[in-house]
Chains A and B, each alone.
Chain A
Amino acid sequence: MRKCLQNIAFTALAIVFLSWLVRLYDSSLRDPSFFSGWILFTGMAAQWLLHFRKQLPMLPLGRAATWLKTHIYFGYFVIAVFLLHTDFSMPDNWFEWVLWSLFMLVAASGVIGAYLSWSVPAKLEQYSGPKTFESIPAIRYRLAEKAGRLALSSVDQSGSLAISNIYADTLRDFFVRPQNLLAHLRGSQRSVKQICDELKTLERHVDEAGKKTLRSIRNLALAKDKLDFQHAHQGLLQCWLFIHIPATYCLIVAVILHVSIIYAYSSGAP
């Protein structure tokens, strides 16, 4: 925690220092947006280096954890530089809107991603589940298969269609595909409780063998619910990168265009 506060304090100091520099530049009657613009450009290029560190694990470039930490804190600094560069004002034309939107998308997805990377693993740990996102469909298939087999076997055992009917009407969809992902992200367990209630209510209408089958199906439903929880949260951990990275590439193109246009029409202003 102390280290974290130190890093925040250092970043804040750097931001204050930079704003003082920009003001100093402004007081010398030069256009400060060129100065802040190039700092912003350098900062964004430096942020991009994390990508190269990841591509070159065989080189002694230091630990990726240190790189990421620097990327996050430097990211806050770059956001401050952007605000100084835009003078805390909204864009004037459509191209500036594109630039502004892309930067905000990259910055917001990065900040959200950093928060998710910090908070979600601990939530995942609450429910023991598969350790890899890729293994979730296979586990889901196995659970659905078991539940289907139990429902069918109940017909042979007691001749009653009660369990197989509730499976066909309510449970089949629940088992075969991801369910209640948004509810899991909200922390709601209403859906699985509803299913468990229905199964428990049915218990009073069936024989002993049926009760045992229902208890087994209920356990499978709880396991499926945990799997959906894992799916929702692990998916979230992967999902933010699908915004952050493509938006970064679009931003790079837009920034190059922006710099080219500025210099094309600036007549070599400082």
Chain B
Amino acid sequence: MRPDVVSNLLSLPFFRDIDGCDFPEDLPLATILANDGRILRYERGDIVYRSGEFNSSIFIVLSGSVYSATSPRSEAAISLALTNKGSNGVPRSEDFIRRLGSLLSTPKSGSSNSKATGQRNTSRISDIEPLIAGDLADRIGPNDIFGECEALTSSARANTHLAGDDETLILELRWPGAREIRHWSDNFRQLVDTRYRQRSLWIALRSSALFEHLDDSALRSIANYCLFETYGALDWTHRYQRERTADHGGTHIAAQEDIIAEQNHYLDDIILIHSGFVRMSKTFERSEKTLGYGSPGDVIGLEELKDSAGSGVPLHLRHSVRATGYADIIRIPARIVEKYVLETASSAQAGKIIPAANSTSESWLNFTIDNRFINGTQAMMIDLNRCVNCDECIRACAATHDNIPRFVRQGPSHQNLMITHACMHCADPVCLTDCPTGAIHRDAKSGNVIINDATCIGCATCANACPYDNIRMEEVRNADGAFHIDSDGVHIARATKCDFCTGLRNGPACQQACPHNALIRVDMRDTRAITEWLDYTH
């Protein structure tokens, strides 16, 4: 942004509460805004972003208003309005040519993030009155923020936002800038964190299968009784690395995790996991035996509550719950669940909301939880009983990435399964949190974690933050193969990692190229997919 625009911005009411004196001299607020902010102008009905998109900016409404879809019903209404209009459709012939082109081209890192390149989603709904009149959208007025929930957790947008007035002006703050302002300004941090807790609570309740039979007014009254709690820190990686290198084994790692609820304690409330992961364990001999893990959307304590209701069985939690790294949870009072869920939900629904048991072996659970592999949504797993070390996976990776393979075919193993050092495109990607330029980001459509080579400055922050050692610093060479060297004589390096072949239509080249079906890219929580793959025979 130009300096005059920034100074105008600083004179607006929102920025009066942010004290410029809190910022260090070498990083003033004006510089952050100039580098990481941009002003977007919308007309009434313009979509700011759709649910399911990945974008880690925080938005500040400067003038006009924005409406946020409140429920799946409102999302459906927006989708229907957009489909009828066909506003974001691409002509079929153009689409065919684009697809043909993508078949023949190799992916380019960081090229798929339309937001990062300054393009805007220009979809528009001509008539948003039914949404507003039908109480399907919440209004966000001037000087308020939105988008903070997904920015803090690097997750997909939970609900669609659209402009409520003509000439709506919004300041989009990219995550690196928002992170710095949140770091230096107490007021901004307070505002972001308060909104985060309020909205996350609502999003979690609304998206939980536990309450899908309830209307918005009942949900709002439930929200008043719930408690939003955070365990661990967003940048949990350094603490985890210390625990892991302490060399006391898995028991030590489990013992270091923040405890959310203890076994045999009276169950005042059930626990709904909003983000992050938790370990469920039980006292066994002199230590804790891992029983399973919980991920976003899982509910803990419901089984105990069901068994206790009307049977006189004391209401005690059967296992301990610990945050593995970072977890946001919502405590829902037991009496609320009894009133709104156990008494009213159908038996089919009650069956659906009981958390799925982790039926795998304890050693596999220990391996995946202690190493935090449950975080991986596209982990590269190799069956050593089938792998013939032919290196076709590496050759295919190199062939699609300028002859530089993006992974190392080595890594920790459990029995015959090896988790290689390839980016797992984590559900909770800690590598994104501290990137100073935002070069490492999620692809807007697929959510895969990719690096924009043009903005990577080679600071290695992401490589150091990755708990799995899956990001490597590669020295940059010119067309003749010579190293790029800076003015101090130091080789210039750049972070490289697996980009999941973003842009290739046939999926990751490594998996496609394995002639023995010994390699799979898989969500580590998808035990069914893993089992099916292991059962594969020629």
Min CB distance A248 to B, Å, is: 16
Q: Which residues of A contact B518 (CB under 8 A)?
A: 121
Option from B387, B506, B514 in Cβ contact (under 8 Å) with A121: B387
A contact residues, total (Cβ < 8 Å): 33
Q: Which residues of B contact A64 (CB under 8 A)?
A: 392, 512-515
Q: Which residues of A contact B104 (CB under 8 A)?
A: 58-59
Q: A64-B512, A124-B384, A131-B409 are in contact. Are A118 and B538 (CB under 8 A)?
A: yes
Min CB distance B370 to A, Å, is: 19
Q: Is A122 an interface residue (CB 8 A)?
A: yes
Q: Is A261 an interface residue (CB 8 A)?
A: no
Q: A60-B505, A125-B384, A128-B413 are in contact. Are A65 and B515 (CB under 8 A)?
A: yes
- Complex Cα–Cα for A44 and B386 (A): 27
Q: Which residues of B contact A166 (CB under 8 A)?
A: none
Q: Which residues of A contact B105 (CB under 8 A)?
A: 58
- Complex Cα–Cα for A131 and B106 (A): 29
- Complex Cα–Cα for A122 and B387 (A): 9
Q: A54-B513, A58-B504 are in contact. Are A131 and B538 (CB under 8 A)?
A: no
Option from B386, B391, B396, B537 in Cβ contact (under 8 Å) with A57: B396
Q: A121-B386, A121-B387 are in contact. Are A4 and B537 (CB under 8 A)?
A: yes
A121 in contact with B385 (CB, 8 Å): yes
- Complex Cα–Cα for A64 and B506 (A): 12
Option from B103, B388, B504, B505 in Cβ contact (under 8 Å) with A117: B388
B388 in contact with A63 (CB, 8 Å): no
Q: Is A245 an interface residue (CB 8 A)?
A: no
Closest to B398 in A: A57
Categorize the interface residue count of chain B.
35 or more
- Complex Cα–Cα for A118 and B389 (A): 12
Q: Which residues of B contact A61 (CB under 8 A)?
A: 506
Q: Which of B497-512 contact A (CB under 8 A)?
A: 504-506, 509, 511-512
Stretch at the interface among A25-33, A67-75, A208-216: A67-75
- Complex Cα–Cα for A122 and B537 (A): 14
Q: Which residues of B contact A67 (CB under 8 A)?
A: 515
- What per-residue 1/0 map shows which CB atoms of A100-127 lie under 8 Å from chain B? 0000000000000000111011101100
Min CB distance A121 to B, Å, is: 5
Q: A122-B385, A125-B385, A132-B409 are in contact. Are A63 and B517 (CB under 8 A)?
A: yes
A58 in contact with B385 (CB, 8 Å): no
In this complex, the member of A58, A65, A116, A125 whose beta carbon has the largest number of chain B beta carbons within 10 angstroms is: A58
- What per-residue 1/0 map shows which CB atoms of B508-538 lie under 8 Å from chain A? 0101111111100000000000000000011
- Complex Cα–Cα for A69 and B509 (A): 18
- What per-residue 1/0 map shows which CB atoms of A53-90 lie under 8 Å from chain B? 01001111111110111001000000000000000000
Closest to A128 in B: B413
Q: Which residues of B contact A54 (CB under 8 A)?
A: 392, 395, 513, 515
Q: Is A205 an interface residue (CB 8 A)?
A: no
Q: Which residues of B contact A65 (CB under 8 A)?
A: 514-517
Min CB distance A74 to B, Å, is: 13
- Complex Cα–Cα for A110 and B511 (A): 23
Q: Which residues of A contact B399 (CB under 8 A)?
A: 57-58
- What per-residue 1/0 map shows which CB atoms of B35-65 lie under 8 Å from chain A? 0000000000000000000000000000000
Option from A1, A3, A60, A237 in Cβ contact (under 8 Å) with B389: A237
Q: Which residues of B contact A60 (CB under 8 A)?
A: 103, 504-506
Q: Which residues of B contact A1 (CB under 8 A)?
A: 537
A68 in contact with B516 (CB, 8 Å): yes
In this complex, the member of A61, A65, A124, A237 whose beta carbon has the largest number of chain B beta carbons within 10 angstroms is: A65
Option from B392, B416, B509, B517 in Cβ contact (under 8 Å) with A58: B509
In this complex, the member of B418, B505, B513 whose beta carbon has the largest number of chain A beta carbons within 10 angstroms is: B513
- Complex Cα–Cα for A69 and B537 (A): 10
Min CB distance B395 to A, Å, is: 8
Option from B389, B395, B418 in Cβ contact (under 8 Å) with A234: B389
Q: Is A35 an interface residue (CB 8 A)?
A: no
- Complex Cα–Cα for A117 and B388 (A): 6
Q: Is A41 an interface residue (CB 8 A)?
A: no
- Complex Cα–Cα for A3 and B537 (A): 7
A117 in contact with B384 (CB, 8 Å): no
Closest to A120 in B: B388
Q: Is A133 an interface residue (CB 8 A)?
A: yes
Min CB distance B183 to A, Å, is: 42
- What per-residue 1/0 map shows which CB atoms of B11-25 lie under 8 Å from chain A? 000000000000000
Q: Is B375 an interface residue (CB 8 A)?
A: no
Q: Is B74 an interface residue (CB 8 A)?
A: no
- Complex Cα–Cα for A122 and B415 (A): 11
- Complex Cα–Cα for A69 and B386 (A): 14
A59 in contact with B103 (CB, 8 Å): yes
Q: Which residues of B contact A117 (CB under 8 A)?
A: 388, 516
- What per-residue 1/0 map shows which CB atoms of B397-410 lie under 8 Å from chain A? 00110000000011
Q: Which residues of A contact B409 (CB under 8 A)?
A: 131-132
Min CB distance A63 to B, Å, is: 5
- Complex Cα–Cα for A26 and B395 (A): 47
- Complex Cα–Cα for A116 and B386 (A): 11
A72 in contact with B538 (CB, 8 Å): yes
In this complex, the member of A59, A62, A234 whose beta carbon has the largest number of chain B beta carbons within 10 angstroms is: A59
Min CB distance A66 to B, Å, is: 9
Q: A60-B103, A65-B517 are in contact. Are A237 and B512 (CB under 8 A)?
A: no
A132 in contact with B400 (CB, 8 Å): no
Min CB distance B119 to A, Å, is: 25
- Complex Cα–Cα for A122 and B506 (A): 29
In this complex, the member of B104, B388, B416 whose beta carbon has the largest number of chain A beta carbons within 10 angstroms is: B388
Min CB distance B501 to A, Å, is: 8
Q: Which residues of A contact B515 (CB under 8 A)?
A: 54, 64-65, 67-68
- Complex Cα–Cα for A125 and B414 (A): 11
- What per-residue 1/0 map shows which CB atoms of B157-193 lie under 8 Å from chain A? 0000000000000000000000000000000000000
Q: A63-B517, A131-B409, A234-B389 are in contact. Are A57 and B384 (CB under 8 A)?
A: no
- Complex Cα–Cα for A170 and B44 (A): 86
Q: Which residues of B contact A238 (CB under 8 A)?
A: 389
- Complex Cα–Cα for A74 and B391 (A): 24
Min CB distance B69 to A, Å, is: 35
Min CB distance B109 to A, Å, is: 15
- Complex Cα–Cα for A37 and B514 (A): 33
Min CB distance B303 to A, Å, is: 38
- Complex Cα–Cα for A119 and B518 (A): 13
Q: Which of B407-459 contact A (CB under 8 A)?
A: 409-410, 413, 416, 418
Which 3 pairs, one residue from A and one from B, show the smallest C-beta to C-beta distance? Answer: A57-B396, A60-B506, A65-B517
Known: A54-B395, A67-B515, A238-B389. 6 other contacts (CB 8 A): A57-B513, A60-B504, A65-B514, A117-B516, A118-B538, A237-B389
**21 residue pairs bridging A and B, Cβ less than 8 Å apart:** A54-B392, A57-B509, A58-B400, A58-B504, A59-B104, A60-B505, A61-B506, A62-B506, A62-B512, A63-B512, A64-B392, A64-B515, A65-B517, A68-B516, A117-B388, A120-B388, A125-B385, A131-B389, A131-B409, A131-B410, A132-B410
